[in-house]
Chain A
């Protein structure tokens, strides 16, 4: 069908609207984060920052803080940033490792209860987190794991393991078995084959599983709100705390929001292919 000019214009107008809808709020956040607080009170508002400042970021990161004054939040913010990175990375590594071992066992090894176990584990995808939250809280109190990295990371692992396992099992199943059989004939052991043949081939699948787990852990709110109240408080719990009843510091909110956006944005920009493949595998439950 010949594409007329008016049809092309129609399509690209639609795409433009879609882009403004998706990126507009993010643009506005970044623009506000470099706007001096004084400019927030100008009316009508400016859609582009009239003055540029990094003061909000300085307050958050504790750089040159004496010059600006105000509430000292940088210690909390730095700790929260570290907490977010530590818990998300730990949960991702642990989750992908455990599910890779499991997925290999489920695809290549025979053991009793194999099918039933897989179905039961994957079925928990349908169980929402809050259905287990309260007993989990009691367990974590008993184990003294509330407000520890281990406790929160373990909860993330249990939450994201089924999806990761499901994804990796389908990846391993699609790998050519001939290579593994050849290695077996040459006398290679199961674990040797797993580490030297299966894992390198499954790279894209492992990446997809890691991305989904990482983004999921990075964005968690309800779980750390309950399980990481103080010492291990992540960014997602800290940022809404800048919203207090009397005063909302929009400079801090938009600057901290921009920082929390950076990592997911990098993932989407550079690893989008893996992300999309993971999303598709995960959504077809």
Chain B
């Protein structure tokens, strides 16, 4: 495979390339092999197979055109999972951005121990998603869970309250775990931008008699706008990819099931491979489209003056 991959590229150039060229091709060949075999070929295969009927339980893989795609339109379960995913995206992005920017502004205000606070804040992001999810499963536990324990200690009637019996509270519970894990990313990105704001801008605002709130609204926020957009892109893509939290906390429950869990179930439990692939293609496109919208907005709004 390596011979084919590097040979193709070399042929275009013809004979007579120098030692650097050979070395360059040699050094990138592991990347080319890995990416072609494990990303580009499977990617193309996903698109191709989504136009066929691929099911390990059925013989043959006849071409079915866009049948897998048109079937999505009448798939009621799928519609529910899309609704859930969009709910996760909206809730998670709002929470991560609003709370994340506030948290970054807070950390930006302290001087002593900033590194330690930052390390503590990043920790949830660094942990495996499923470990976060089982931690919160234990916190949400009706009997001995921490959440009900705190609420009861505050005198509220939450003994043995089951958070996953009701769709709204279940969705919020899953979102909270996701936000707990992903908000550090927003904080790091926005905090870095805040640290890059020159001190003399605040000095000027102070001389003009601005209050702290005005400084935040008129100096800080406009200058970290592009960082917020980057953070929003990340938050959106991550919320789209929500899987671990929903799967561990609520299993296959349709009330909380995001699109990604739906793909997993259709593919690896119902063994409808090609339908799963068509779903993957659609989710990928939607995710790319949303990222693109953000990127374009940032480029339009940020001028280098």
Contacts and interface: CB of A to CB of B under 8 A. Distances in A.
Contacts, number: 282
Contacts of A29: 135, 138
Interface residues of B, number: 101
B230 to A, nearest CB: 6
B85 to A, nearest CB: 13
Interface in A250-280: 250, 253-254, 257, 260-261, 264-265, 267-269, 272, 275-276, 279-280
A139 interface: yes
Interface in B186-229: 188-189, 192, 202, 206, 212
B283 interface: yes
A130 B263 contact: yes
A222 B28 contact: no
A102 B27 contact: yes
Given A112-B12, A132-B43, A265 B21 contact: no
B24 A105 contact: yes
A171 to B, nearest CB: 16
A76 to B, nearest CB: 16
B75 interface: no
Interface stretch (B62-70, B86-94, B165-173, B240-248): B240-248
What does DSSP make chain A's interface, helix, strand, loop or mixed?
A: helix
A99 B31 contact: yes
Nearest to A269: B119
Interface string B254-290: 0000001001100110000100110011011001100
B280 A134 contact: yes
B131 interface: yes
B303 to A, nearest CB: 18
Interface in B149-194: 149, 152-153, 159, 180, 184-185, 188-189, 192
Interface string A130-157: 1111111011000000000000001101
A249 to B, nearest CB: 11
Given A135-B45, A219-B128, A158 B117 contact: no
Given A14-B106, A47-B149, A257-B134, A134 B277 contact: yes
Interface of B: 9-10, 12-13, 17, 19-21, 23-25, 27-28, 30-32, 34-35, 37-43, 45-46, 49, 102-103, 106-107, 109-110, 115, 117-124, 126-139, 141, 143-146, 149, 152-153, 159, 180, 184-185, 188-189, 192, 202, 206, 212, 230-231, 233-234, 237, 240-241, 243-244, 247-248, 260, 263-264, 267-268, 273, 276-277, 280-281, 283-284, 287-288, 291
Interface of A: 1, 7, 11-12, 14-15, 18-19, 21-23, 25-26, 28-29, 32, 40-41, 43-45, 47, 98-99, 101-102, 104-106, 109-114, 117, 120-121, 124, 126-128, 130-136, 138-139, 154-155, 157-158, 161, 165, 190-191, 215, 218-222, 226, 235-237, 239-240, 242-243, 248, 250, 253-254, 257, 260-261, 264-265, 267-269, 272, 275-276, 279-280, 283-285
Q: Which 10 A-B pairs have the closest CB atoms?
A: A111-B24, A109-B24, A219-B128, A158-B38, A135-B45, A135-B42, A132-B42, A105-B27, A45-B149, A264-B126
